[in-house]
Every structure is written in C-alpha cells, then in structure tokens.
C-alpha cells in the first residue's frame, strides 16, 4: 500500500558458543531470509562465535584486576574516566565506554570483547550466506553506544558488508535550487538503530532483518574505514579553555 | 509472518507555509493513518508551519552578517568553531552545528530555525490528530545531527508526544543472572533514525510513519526534559590536559 520497509525480529537463535556457525544458526531461525535483505547482527554473538572472549575470575578483587587488564588490552587511547567507567578509543577507532567489553548474556567467568575486525566478520557472514545458502544479503554488525550531550544509548554499526555505510547527497540541490548542507547520512548506523527496536536486550533476539530498503547489495567500504573519524583530522583546537573543559565533560557524559 | 514493524514514507505533502495546518496536510497525504502509528515529522515543516523563520538578504556580505546575527539569537553557549561552522548549544539544550539553522528546502530569503518548543509542537500535532480526526498516534519531531567521533549524520528526536523517549532496562537481568549494564535506550532517537531511511532530503518526504511497534500511545515526558543531558551534571573533569584537548577536538569533528 505504501512504500517503505519492514524490520523483523529473528527469534530462536540459541546461546552462541565459540566456533558456532552463525550463518547456519541464522538461516535455521529465519528460513524466510531473501535476497536484498539486510541482516543486522548484534556484535555479541559475532564475538562469541569467533571466540573474542576473555576469561576472568567470577568475583572479588581478582575479577576487577583481570577486567582492568582486559580493558587495557582493548584500549588504544583513553578519552575520559568517570569513576569506574572509562571512555576509550579501541584499536578499531571506536570511542566507547569500557572499550565495548560486556559481561551480559555470557557466563560470569567470561567477558565479551568486540570482534577483532567487525567489517571482516560482516563480510565473512555475507559470504557464507551467499556460498552455502545462495542468499545475497547485506550484513551489519551492531553494538550499543552512548553519545555525548544526550541521555540514552542507541545502536550503531561496527562493521558492514554488501551495503554502503554512507548515503552521499553532495552536489544535490533542493527544489529551491539551494545546495544541500547535509551531505552524508550514516545509513548503516540508522539501520542498526532501527533493528535495535526489535532486538530486546534480555529476550535473546540478537538478529533483525530489514526488508524492502535495498534494491541490490554491493560490495563496499566497511564501517571502520568510512565512519570512524580520523583522530588526526580532528586534532586541532581553536577554542577557549572553557570550551575544552566542556568538550571533555561531554565525553564523560557518555558513561 | 514475522514479528516486527514497518516504516512508510508519506508522499504528497505540499511545500509547507507559515500558518499551514500540519494535521490536515498529513491526514490528506496519509489517509491510511491508524491508531498506534508513530508519526515522525521533520522539524523543518514544523518550523515552517509555526513561522520559525528568519528573513535574510539573498546574497552578499549582508547575508552572512544577518545569518551571524540569527545564529547568535539561537545560541545559548558556543561549544566549538571550525572555520565557518559553529557547534553550539541551543536554548533547548541541543548541541548542533549552526544551532540547527537550515537554508535548504526554503526560499533563499529565509532561514529555517528550530521549533521554539519541539515537545510542545509534537503534543499539539498529536492533539490535533486526536481531536479533529479521532486518531490516537504518537508524534516525533526529528532533525539531522552530527556526532563526535563518527563520520556521517543521523536523524534524532527533538520533540515527542505519546511515547516514552527512553526504554529503561534497569533492574533487568539476562538469562545468566547478570544485571544489565546497558540500561536506557533512546527509543525516539532510534525511531527518528529509522524514519530518515525513507525520508529523502530532496524528495519532499518530510513525514514517515512507523507502524506495529506501539501497542498503545501514552502521555510522557518530552525529549528536552529527558534526553538533553544536564550540562551541570556533565561539568566536572578528572582527566589529563591531553584528554581535554581531545574532547574539544572531537566536538569540532561534528562539523
């Protein structure tokens, strides 16, 4: 009736273990998958299937010390610290609380790390679905992040394959002949956000499918080379000491 | 077949003028609107209908000077400056490039400002649809924003009515008995992002409808009191001078 797209929860994926075959688990839970679908996969199950885990003591000060060491291993640069929470830049370039390390939906003796190369993870899943199931889909690996200046978290893309991360409006003009000020939309982040709306945190819905938006998939640059802002590019300062304090305070707000 | 939701473009809304009746225009273009739908409305048409516009010369240094004055009127606090682009905090508390002032999709003699009170705008539209058309819908007023640390822009909510801005997971535990680390999801921002995927920038699709996600609407706190982070709350700094520089540099990256 109306042009648009739909977002569907994929239920029935079992608890993922290291070595598990994600393509098989997903096709098993979503036998209705079709060409042109966009698969949004929570990074946690990608990490678990890839064994991106760290073993830690289940409690006590030993747990804290081990966690601290794991955090250090995942950190390229500290951005801000608030109490126990660190906002850091990971080796991929993502700026996240605790480097994206997570202890939910996993046994207490383990911490889930981010996938080592989420774009490669997305490509591998896309390839597996193409080669073994004849499915031509795009894949987004997503995770939950805070942002400065706003409360609440949203899901964003850590990796993608088969879809361009950005939609570029450069050179377009509106019906009044004005050149567009807004040039590049982070489409894969918007897709990750849309998918989160059906992916409960405790309901074991780690995958959602977006249908009706892509006319065809295409190989593309991944998230890390495209969406992660080059820190060097940002590293100049023109403002007041007060503004610098504020910028830092805002980063802290991410916790 | 699968549980989820759908997002639909609303086409055929004419160029909006000050004083225009948005409820009427939207119902005219989307006679299929139904109870429980979430209407995501680009702030620009809200601003235009409310007359939140500033008249400026169509060119020359006079235009720049006038624009500068308009920007000052919309600015509560400067956050960062990069060349011609200022990242500022608006009187609502939003941190945005150019205070959200926009010159696209409007005659060159005008600049579009943000709605004065986007939560009130959302409530007014929700009320108009309820009273005059018997429709019980939620409304989100959205706009496009940059964010530090990531390239590309996404749509977020400036105002809402009939829906809670945050989904709260506090106190929930996962199947392993771990308490959730991620507590509050900015649902209205995720909805704004989902809607952007069908709202072209130059295609005159200023409204999208999200269907199938809400079981019922409810009066709620708006975006400004809920999602805008209290600057005072963020205003402490524990880090190094280098981290402060970085925080500010990241803010600049929003341009």
- Nearest CB to A197; choose among B102, B190, B244: B190
Quote the DSSP letter at residue B178. Answer: P
- Overall size of chain A counted in residues: 255
The DSSP letter of residue A100 is G
- Please report, for chain B, how many H helices and E strands are present, in that order: 8, 12
Q: How far apart are CA B216 and CA B212, in angstroms?
A: 10
Contact B141, B159 (CB under 8 A): yes
According to the model, what pLDDT value does residue A206 have? Answer: 95
Residue B115 has, within 13 A of its CA and on its CB side, a CA count of: 30
Q: Is B156 helix (H, G, I), strand (E, B) or coil?
A: strand
Q: What is the dihedral of CA B163, B166, B167, B169, to 10 degrees?
A: -150
Q: B212: closest CA among B137, B159, B140, B155?
A: B137
Hey, of B56, B144, B193, B220, which one would you mutate to test binding to chain A, going by the most A CBs within 10 A of its CB?
Answer: B193
Question: How far is Cα of residue A185 from the mean position of the Cα atoms in its chain?
Answer: 16
**B1: its two tokens:** 């077949």
Model pLDDT for residues A155-180, shown as the tens digit of each residue: 999 999 999 999 888 777 777 777 77
Burial A93-106 (b: 16+ CB within 10 A, else e): bbbbbbbbbbbbbb
> By C-alpha distance, which of B6, B1, B3 is closest to B209?
B6
The verdict on a CB contact (< 8 Å) between A193 and B194 is yes
Q: How far is CA B227 from the centre of its chain?
A: 11
**Whole-Å CA distances, A221 to A125, A157, A164, A177, B208:** 16, 13, 7, 31, 29
Q: B66: which 2 tokens?
A: 């006038």
Residues of B in contact with A149 (CB under 8 A): 89, 94-95, 228-229
Residue A177 near residue A113, CB atoms below 8 Å: no
ipTM of the complex: 0.90
**CA distance readout (Å), B159 to A240, B77, B141:** 31, 20, 5
Cβ neighbours of residue B241 closer than 8 Å, sequence gap 6 or more: none
pLDDT tier at B2, thresholds 50, 70, 90: low
- For A106-139, the pLDDT digits (tens) are 889 999 999 999 999 999 999 999 999 999 999 9
A189 DSSP assignment: H
Q: Can you tell me the distance from the alpha carbon of A25 to that of B185, in angstroms, rounded to the nearest whole number?
A: 27
pTM of the model: 0.90
How far is the alpha carbon of B159 from chain A, nearest alpha carbon, in Å?
13
Instruction: Give A230's pLDDT tier (boundaries 50, 70, 90).
Output: low
Give yes or no for a contact between A35 and A137, defined as CB atoms under 8 angstroms apart. yes
Query: Which tokens hold the place of A48?
Result: 């678990």
Q: Which residues of B touch A246 (CB under 8 A)?
A: 77, 79, 231, 234-235, 247-248, 251
> Is the CB of residue A144 less than 8 Å from the CB of residue A155?
yes
Of the pLDDT bands very low, low, confident and very high (cuts 50, 70, 90), residue B173 is: confident
What number of other Cβ atoms are within 10 A of residue A72's Cβ? 12
A31 vs B61: CA distance, rounded Å: 61
Q: Which residues of B touch A166 (CB under 8 A)?
A: 151-152
Residue B236 pLDDT class (50, 70, 90 cuts)? very low
B198:A4 CB<8 A = yes
Residues in chain A within 8 Å Cβ distance of B39? none
Closest CA to A126 of A14, A21, A23, A11: A23
Question: What does the alpha-carbon distance between residue A42 and residue A61 come to, in Å, rounded to a whole number?
Answer: 30
Max mean pLDDT among A131-145, A215-229, A239-253 falls in A131-145
Task: Report helix, strand or coil for A89.
Answer: strand
User: Tokens at residue A46, please?
Assistant: 């990608």
What digits encode the pLDDT tens for the residues B100-154? 999 888 889 999 999 999 999 999 999 999 999 999 999 999 999 988 889 999 9
Q: Provide the pLDDT for residue B106.
A: 87
What lies within 8 Å, CB to CB, of B242 at 6+ separation is none
Look up residue A99 and give its two tokens. Answer: 């480097």
Q: Nearest residue of B to residue A94 by CA position?
A: B149
A85 near A99, Cβ under 8 Å? no
Q: Coil, helix or strand for A64?
A: helix
Nearest CA in chain B to A211: B6
Alpha helices in chain B (DSSP H): 22-29, 43-50, 60-74, 118-133, 187-196, 223-227, 231-234, 241-253
Query: A10-40: per-residue pLDDT in tens?
Result: 999 999 999 999 999 999 999 999 999 999 9
Rounded Cα distance between B30 and B141, Å, is 17
Alpha-carbon distance B230 to B254, whole Å?
20
Least Cα distance to A117 among A20, A52, A169 occurs for A52
* Tens digits of residue pLDDT in A180-227: 766 799 999 999 999 999 986 556 799 999 999 998 899 888 999 999
């Amino acid at each position: 009736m109306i042009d648009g797209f739909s977002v569907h929860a994929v239920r029935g994926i079992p608890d993922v273990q290291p070595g598990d075959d994600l393509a098989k688990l997903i096709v098993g839970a979503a036998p209705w998958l079709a060409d042109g679908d966009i698969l949004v996969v929570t990074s946690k199950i990608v990490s678990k299937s890839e064994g991106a885990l760290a073993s830690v003591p289940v409690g006590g000060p030993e747990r804290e010390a081990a966690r601290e060491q794991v955090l250090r291993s995942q950190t390229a640069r500290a951005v801000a610290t608030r109490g126990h929470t660190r906002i850091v830049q990971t080796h991929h370039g993502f700026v996240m609380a605790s480097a994206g390390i997570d202890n939910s939906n996993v046994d207490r003796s383990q911490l889930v790390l981010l996938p080592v190369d989420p774009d490669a993870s997305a490509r591998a899943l896309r390839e597996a679905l193409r080669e073994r199931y004849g499915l031509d889909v795009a894949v987004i690996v997503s995770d939950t992040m805070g942002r400065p200046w706003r409360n609440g978290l949203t899901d964003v893309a850590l990796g993608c394959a088969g879809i361009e991360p950005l939609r570029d409006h450069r050179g377009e003009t509106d019906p009044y002949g004005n050149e567009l000020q807004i040039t590049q939309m982070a489409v894969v982040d918007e897709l990750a956000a849309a998918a989160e709306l059906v992916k409960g945190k405790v309901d074991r819905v780690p995958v959602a499918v977006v249908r009706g938006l892509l006319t065809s998939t295409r190989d593309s640059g991944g998230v890390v080379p495209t969406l992660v802002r080059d820190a060097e590019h940002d590293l100049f300062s023109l403002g007041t000491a007060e503004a610098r304090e504020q910028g830092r305070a805002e980063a802290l707000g991410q916790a």
